[in-house]
Amino acid sequence: MDKIYINQMTFYGYHGVLPEENKLGQRFIVDLELLLDLKAAGDHDRLEDTINYAEAYELTKEIVEGPKYQLIESVAERLASHLLDHFPKLKECRVKLIKPDPPIPGHYQSVAVEIIRSRA
């Protein structure tokens, strides 16, 4: 299966279990891997044969910067569901949601979840 990657999209959202996360917000980084057949797009050079990257970006922004969730797992699940609903050509998507600055004591680069969802 062919893939489109949209990497390191950075947004500001209010997701988290702690009250300060919901009040102050924080950065979230999203990587998408979109699986679909790109043969027609490559052969015919038509946007309707692929996924519009700008639309995928805006949909991602809408979800990550939208309603608050306690868990980044919930944000990732909602994003995957919306991507599959919005893009009929999409067969499967991988959503990696990174929380680079969670308020957890210790030394680490980030926390993240990655989910893979397919069209039923």
Catalytic residue numbers, as ranges: 99
Question: In this structure, which CATH number among 3.30.1130.10, 3.40.630.10, 3.30.300.30, 3.30.1360.70 belongs to the domain 2-118?
Answer: 3.30.1130.10
Residue 119: pLDDT band with limits 50, 70, 90 = very high
Question: CB–CB of 83/77 below 8 Å?
Answer: no
Q: What are the domain boundaries of the chain?
A: 2-118
Regarding pTM above 0.85, the answer is yes
Question: CB–CB of 115/80 below 8 Å?
Answer: yes
Q: CA-CA distance, 120 to 27, in Å (whole number)?
A: 32
The answer, yes or no, to whether residue 103 has pLDDT greater than 90, is no
Share of the chain above pLDDT 90, in %: 91
- Residues 12-59 pLDDT 10s: 999 999 999 999 999 999 999 999 999 999 999 999 999 999 999 999
pLDDT for residue 102:
87
